[in-house]
Structure 1
């Protein structure tokens, strides 16, 4: 019996359309959606906003975006520490000693500590002292206060010998927050307190600390400090003398991550550790490239461009056809949110297309043979 192709089409196409209406799984179509166009030039393509840089032995050094730190002194900090003097504030407790006059030094019958028996600096910045009454002390050093009290007591005592010290430092504090072992407030005292000192007093860095992006907030202004440069590289220029109200924050390293995708043996998200991470190290952490499917010339690092840049992203390409080129990858430091992508070889991409087509072709052939058998059955 002669086979009628038109008759076959009238059966196959409606069946295909019906199958499309009942395809399993979810689907999202944009055909009926209101698509908002933000691009002022709709004809521009993504490729026009991306720069591609080959990574070679001669060029890799110029792509070292992370700042290189070196050991260096901080003469400005040394001067501040040498000239440092604590200034009294409300809440501090002063201990005033008048030699040869114990009645002016320790109240009769008192066996309390110096901080308990001392002179409390009131909210208005003054203390009360016998004979001379109210003394303004806020904002002054102990040497200035000693001179003031001695001058006023000279009216009642002959050549008074005065000593003044701080029994308790309570007026000025700095705050250490974030990923340290003991976060909290630390008192500013007569001993200069630096960022490094404060971190050590707080028990050091916690396991998940991001020591490259520590912030110092002073008077509402934020400054970035790299504890990596300070502790690991000996860059003392990263250290600061802390003042009252300063906030030192050590963030978590949650943002220190890169994405390794494509034709690698174990694609996954990686966290940049405290020592940093190179491109070769990232490839090693995912088991290397897939030797059967990867295109060794297409190891890419996709990096979002700076906000000031006119383009969208930078792409860095490393050719590791010669495995010795992995040495170049050790010189390329990854940055947070970099995407390491290893592309597939051309033959692999073609085989994947064929693999997608084969089920459809096979199913169509089986359907055609079935229709022919039904047609020829009588």
Structure 2
């Protein structure tokens, strides 16, 4: 009788565990996880909010680059000697004391040096002698040149000015959920897409669902969400799925309900061995 009860109990536990695993595997997570109800779900491809990286690159061929935070630029006043350039090289967010304390006449300084290594700060502003704090983030290079010409033109007549981007600042996105290295990652300006972000985060782990990646973007306090299917991008070459990212975007890789052989099946095989030992 004792043997019969042992067999019944172990059998019930085994059936219950396997049923639970099978049910989890059969579920289809079609709903967006951890997204507030007020979020705007974007379903269109190449919308005003989200664009495919491929489409965006095509569009950018017809558009000028717009300056961003942490970009570094040089401003040169064409036609003037720049022998004193080193004395007024810009610092990380400002400029050296020689330009600030007026140790040289401002006309001579502007005419002979230009400004090198101007960093656009995290607020989008750059600090220049005489021009002061100038917001450059979001402007094209030509727009920045026109603005600086106007600002500096109050102190001398500028025949011609050039603005050159010498370094493009890194962009940061968050990759969360079922990836090997979740957290904040930096991407180069020309690597701002879902594939590059997930790759930089060590790729999805064995439970990560790359068919249902959520790209989250906040614009003027409104959350927008677009789903990306990297599996279709890789296997079916659906270029629409590799969405272009913006600085500050969030990627969430949800958990899949698939059964993993090592973690989900092997323990129950071991359990079955125990079952046989008890019941035999």
Output the TM-score relative to the length of structure 1: 0.40
Does the alignment pair 1:164 with 2:190?
Answer: no
Structure 1 residue runs of 5 or longer lacking an equivalent are: 1-23, 26-64, 68-72, 259-267, 272-285, 287-378
Relative to structure 1, the CA distance from residue 214 to residue 124 in structure 2 (aligned partners, 3 Å threshold; closer, same or farther) is closer
What is the CA–CA distance in structure 2 between the aligned matches of 1:129 and 1:152, rounded to whole Å?
10
Structure 1 residues 108-163: Cα deviation after superposition (integer angstroms, max 9, x where no partner): 5x698999973343566432223433323133233321232234445625423312
Structure 2 residue runs of 5 or longer lacking an equivalent are: 7-27, 31-44, 96-115, 270-280
What is the CA–CA distance in structure 1 between the aligned matches of 2:236 and 2:195, rounded to whole Å?
14
**Alignment correspondent of 2:258:** 256
Q: Secondary structure at the match of 1:230?
A: helix
What is the CA–CA distance in structure 2 between the aligned matches of 1:125 and 1:114, rounded to whole Å?
11
Report deviation, 1:231: 1.2
1:93/1:115 contact within 8 Å kept: no
Q: CA RMSD in A?
A: 4.6
Larger RCO (alpha carbons 8 Å, 6+ apart)? 2
Superposition map of 1:135-284 within 5 A:
135-154=134-153, 156-165=156-165, 167=167, 169=169, 172-187=171-186, 190-191=189-190, 193-219=192-218, 220-253=223-256, 255-257=257-259
**Alignment correspondent of 2:120:** 121
Does the alignment pair 1:80 with 2:56?
Answer: yes
Report deviation, 1:183: 3.2
What is the CA–CA distance in structure 2 between the aligned matches of 1:241 and 1:197, rounded to whole Å?
10
1:81/1:192 contact within 8 Å kept: no
Structure 1 residues 325-370: Cα deviation after superposition (integer angstroms, max 9, x where no partner): xxxxxxxxxxxxxxxxxxxxxxxxxxxxxxxxxxxxxxxxxxxxxx
Output the TM-score relative to the length of structure 2: 0.52
Instruction: Specify the structure having the higher radius of gyration (Cα).
Output: 1
Report deviation, 1:193: 1.2
**Alignment correspondent of 1:304:** none
**Alignment correspondent of 1:102:** 82
Structure 1 residues 22-75: Cα deviation after superposition (integer angstroms, max 9, x where no partner): xx99xxxxxxxxxxxxxxxxxxxxxxxxxxxxxxxxxxxxxxx999xxxxx989
Q: Secondary structure at the match of 1:102?
A: coil
1:146/1:164 contact within 8 Å kept: no
1:128/1:135 contact within 8 Å kept: yes
What is the CA–CA distance in structure 2 between the aligned matches of 1:204 and 1:269, rounded to whole Å?
21
Q: Say which structure is richer in helix.
A: 2
Q: Secondary structure at the match of 2:179?
A: coil
Report deviation, 1:269: 5.8
Structure 1 residues 89-120: Cα deviation after superposition (integer angstroms, max 9, x where no partner): 5x524322315453685445x69899997334
Report deviation, 1:83: 3.0
1:174/1:187 contact within 8 Å kept: yes
Q: How many residues are paired up?
A: 196
Report deviation, 1:196: 1.5
What is the CA–CA distance in structure 2 between the aligned matches of 1:134 and 1:213, rounded to whole Å?
43
**Alignment correspondent of 1:325:** none
Structure 1 residues 203-250: Cα deviation after superposition (integer angstroms, max 9, x where no partner): 433344322222222233333322211112222222211123221122
